[in-house]
Structure 1
Amino acid sequence: MSIKIRLTIMSFLQFFVWGAWLITIANYWFGTKNWDGTEFGAIFATMGIASLFMPTLVGIIADRWVNAERLYILLHLLYAICLIYLAKVDNPNSFFTLMLLAMCCYMPTLALSNSIAYSSLTQGNYDLIKAFPPIRVWGTVGFIAAMWITNLTGNKATEIQFYIAAAGSIFLSLYALLAIPKCPPQHLTKENAKLSEILGLEAFKLFGNYKMALFFIFSMFLGAALQLTNAYGDVFLSEFANFPKYMDSFVVERSTIIMSISQISETLFILAIPFFLKRFGIRNVMLIAMLAWVLRFGLFAYGDPSSGLWMIILSCIVYGMAFDFFNISGSLFVETSTDSKIRSSAQGLFMMMTNGFGAILGSRVSGWLIDKYFTHSYTNASDLASYLDTQADNPKFLEVIAHKKIQINDGVFDQVIQVKEWPHIWLAFAAYTLVIAIAFALLFKHKHEYKSQ
């Protein structure tokens, strides 16, 4: 089996074990467990907390002391164990602790998988810009496959999604043990080496380079945008069930399938990356990604399951460009702009900024912002019915209330009903990414030179 095929299978499984729960966990949290919305932001923040130190730490170890593929196998086994226990947890605090442990195991494997692929392709004398995207695209296919399996088996709001991911991760560990080539450390310590070199901290010197530091800062801000769509995309579509006129729509019933259009779009835009990089250069490709994020959020703001369905679908299509043109191109930018001796730790830094600081910024700030400014509370049936553009005695309105297991006594609910004002939420996110795009266009200067091998 060729190295490209082996790496392709690894990429498929790498994202399968994430896609099985990442987009649907909000339905499990809010729908099945009925836990607090503010605490949910903390769950997505675990990815950021783990990414603050684990990808860089593991990258340093892989660069200096332990084969990257061995670390990769161990971390996926530990990730599977954490998920199995996570499925059995019945309180949010314990859930947070186990999710944090799971993310400490999984998040560094994202950077490691890139490092393993780059190392193997470089040894095979492949052109990275041409060879890597067709391999990485199968990661997106794996993500889609996992989403569909979770949704079509009726498990988008159950703990089974975690078992699906755990089974995939165990299989990936066994596969990597048998099929992934050895990736030994490239950076051995010299005599009379400086302390920073002994500790493997050379990658942090990249922050001393203006262009690289600026790139990492914008990576953080774009990482925040990614967390917004991961955390709230599926639950946004599911909450159209609050509106009687939309409650029976395909968008509500199969929200995860609709969201998977985003990942299907990724497969097309990943394959287009070599063409766009060659024609427009890395700076313009990343700027296009930022403008695509603006469009992504803006279309969500005005979309709905009937007349505005085309906007929801177009938003999902645009997501492929928004995600790939920055994250995949950014990973290639780091690889081609740094020494191969610090390959794993440099990729770890990129992961730290996007999925570390960026994830924390996106999940924590957005959770606070949504709860404080864009969430309405209702105790009166008539007020809620007016907001939902129906009558309090409308049979479908009563069906919505019954589904929430809430009783109405003399027009008053026996508990508070909270409704998020999604159009304004998405417009706020669109404004955020527009500011980032303008700042990037003004500040980031880079002359891209494409060299085909």
Structure 2
Amino acid sequence: MMFLEFFIWGSWFVTLGTFLGKDLLADGSQSAAVFSTQSFGAIIAPFIIGMIADRYFNAEKILGFLHLIGAVLMFQMYNSTDFADFYPYVFAYMIMFMPTLALVNSVSFNQMKDPEKEFSSIRIWGTIGWIVAGLCISFLFHWDSAEAVSEGLLRNTFLMACIASITLGIFSFTLPATPPTIIKGEKVTFSDILGLDALKLLNNKNFLIFFISSILICIPLAFYYQNANLFLSELGMENPTGKMTIGQISEVLFLLLLPVFFSRFGFKKTILVGMIAWALRYTLFAYGNANELSSMLLVGIALHGICYDFFFVSGQIYTNSKAGEKYKSAAQGLITLATYGAGMLIGFWVAGFVSDEYKLSDTSHDWEKIWMVAAGIAAAVAVLFVITFNQDKEDALKHKEEVS
């Protein structure tokens, strides 16, 4: 289940920027509109989960239903020949897909006796699925080669995702029963669904700074999702999608190192390393090329593990520690809404605007300037965080909690 869930996402999302630019001739603002559908899906997902999945139907059945609808929409995306046709289908698809990320977790957790120990060994198969999708695109089917892209073969990624969606949709109905978590008749408020009760955490100055930084750091993150594959393709790098899987391999490795780093250096230094890594990777992208300096691009891709794990996973751990038992779920939901919802939405539009500003022609961009803008934003967020976040206060509170 987890393998197929992320195989589907990795099958088309990584190469989406290249497809939009090369096949649909979309400009930066149009690409931003398409990528922003992920954010709208993330914003709407809690309502689907909170109002339907948690109250009326088994999670595995909703998972199957959403993926089967998704397969139909994905097939329509495969058949679309211009932006106007494509956009409604991708918007509808993301509304269907984003809730499934929570549903696969629900199905998994329901089968576990000790989720904290068992979940990581299950979730890692999602990352493997994403990696395999990228390797298939580059090394098995060669859909992202210059010749294939020029012939319009990159749209086959949507067909691959469609077939995988049908497979997971059918398979989901065979999964162990995961009944609704809310007792019939129990009232669920709007604030419960969105995790708004966790807003009380923002009264803590350090958590507020982290919260704001989480939203802002999503702006450079959006540059990567929206532009990286198109950037590598325009530079002429061979098998760009397959090589981008180095980032997911790195993610797995640094996820294993994170607990050691976190316990030894603390939250502030860990998350700061993640921010600095964003600025460094984009600087490497700005000055690297597909020839003698290709190693700079590969190192930039490999930094994804530090960029993602050291900031976002560390942030989830920090949020969990601050929320307490009462607000744990609400706090994680709030952070997800702030980052993948608001943060990424802002980020995609900024990335689209900057891409249009430095577009040289229909087939080229001034990538050095684009990536340096992203690096500058990441560096500015890092400076803001290091100046305003009070680690001494955090350490004092932690010591007080340990003593009590």
Residue deviations 1:384-409 (CA, integer Å, cap 9, x gap):
xxxxxxxxxxxxxxxxxxxxxxxxxx
Matches within 5 A, 1:17-28: 17-28=8-19
Alignment partner of 1:44 out of 35, 59, 62:
35
Partner residue of 2:127? Answer: 140
Taking every aligned residue pair, what percent have the same amino acid on both sides?
30
From the superposition, tell whether residues 317 and 418 of structure 1 become closer, same or farther in structure 2 (CA, over 3 Å): closer
Distance in 2 between the 1:345 and 1:170 partners?
A: 32
Which residue does 1:439 correspond to in 2?
384
Are 2:226 and 2:351, in contact at CA under 8 Å, matched by a contact in 1? no
Q: Does 1:375 align with 2:344?
A: no
Q: 1:62 to 1:272 in 2, by over 3 A?
A: farther
1:100 offset after TM fit, Å? 0.5
Question: Per-residue deviation at 1:145?
Answer: 0.5
2:91 pairs, out of 100, 103, 107, with 100
2:225 to 224, 230, 235: 230
- Letter paired with 1:145: V
1:304 is aligned to 289
In structure 2, the CA distance between the partners of 1:12 and 1:326, relative to structure 1 (3 Å rule), is: farther
Q: TM-score, normalised by structure 1?
A: 0.75
| Structure 1 partner of 2:171 | 175
Superposition deviation, residue 268 in structure 1 = 0.9
The change in CA–CA distance for 1:342 and 1:90 in structure 2 (over 3 A counts) is: farther
- For the 8 Å contact 1:376–1:419, the answer to whether it is kept is yes
AA aligned opposite 2:212: I
Q: Which residue of 1 aligns with 2:275?
A: 290
Bigger helix fraction: 2
CA-to-partner distance for each residue in 1:109-159, whole Å, 9 max, x for gaps? Answer: 2233344445544xx034x2x543343222221111111112230333422
Counterparts in 2 of 1:320-335, with a 5 A limit?
320-335=305-320
Which one of the candidate residues 208, 221, 234 is aligned to 2:200?
Answer: 208
How much has 1:83 moved relative to structure 2?
A: 0.6
2:114 aligns to what? 125
**How far has the Cα of 1:178 moved from its partner?**
2.3
2:265 maps to which residue? 280
- Of residues 137, 143, 146, the one that matches 1:155 is 143
| Structure 1 counterpart of 2:128, one-letter code | V
Kindly tell me: are residues 376 and 21 of structure 1, through their superposed partners in 2, closer, same or farther at Cα, counting changes over 3 Å?
same
Distance across 2 between alignment mates of 1:177 and 1:214? 43
Q: Counterpart of 2:12 in 1: which secondary structure?
A: coil
Question: Per-residue deviation at 1:444?
Answer: 4.0
- Matched residues in 2 for 1:59 and 1:47: separation? 19
Q: Secondary structure at the match of 1:293?
A: helix
Query: Equivalents in 2 of 1:115, 1:338: separation in Å?
Result: 20
Question: Shift in Å at residue 283 of structure 1?
Answer: 4.1
Deviation digits for residues 280-334 of structure 1 (CA, Å, limit 9, x no counterpart): 3444432222121111111111111222122111111111111122333434445
Give the deviation of 1:82 after TM superposition.
1.2
Q: Which residue of 2 aligns with 1:79?
A: 70
| Distance in 1, Cα, partners of 2:161 & 2:75 | 9
Residue 375 of structure 1 aligns with an amino acid whose one-letter code is K
Aligned-pair CA distance for 1:185: 1.0
Report if aligned partners of 1:220, 1:358 keep a CA contact under 8 Å in 2: yes
With normalisation by structure 2, the TM-score equals 0.84
- CA distance in structure 1 between the partners assigned to 2:248 and 2:331 by the alignment: 26
Cα distance in 2 between the residues matched to 1:435 and 1:341: 34
Give the direction of change, closer, same or farther, for the CA distance of 1:52–1:444 in structure 2 (3 Å limit): farther
> Alignment length, in residue pairs?
384
1:20/1:146 contact within 8 Å kept: yes
Q: Give the 3 Å change call, closer, same or farther, for CA 434–112 of structure 1 in structure 2.
A: farther
Q: Per-residue displacement from partner, 1:232-262 (whole Å, max 9, x unpaired)?
A: 1111111124xxxxxxxxx2x3111222211
Deviation, structure 1 residue 53: 2.4
Which moves more between the two structures, 355-364 or 436-445? Answer: 436-445
Of 333-342 and 202-211, deviating more is 333-342
Give the letter aligned to residue 361 of structure 1.
I
- Provide the rounded CA distance (Å) in 1 between the counterparts of 2:25 and 2:190: 49
1:13–1:142 contact (8 Å) kept in structure 2: yes
Pair 1:438–1:180, CA change in 2 (3 A): farther
What amino acid maps onto 2:231 in structure 1?
A: F
Bigger CA radius of gyration: 1
Consecutive unaligned residues of structure 1, counting only runs of 5 or more, are: 1-9, 242-250, 378-416
- The change in CA–CA distance for 1:36 and 1:201 in structure 2 (over 3 A counts) is closer
Match of 1:257 in 2: 242
Question: In structure 1, what is the Cα distance between the partners aligned to 2:286 and 2:274?
Answer: 19
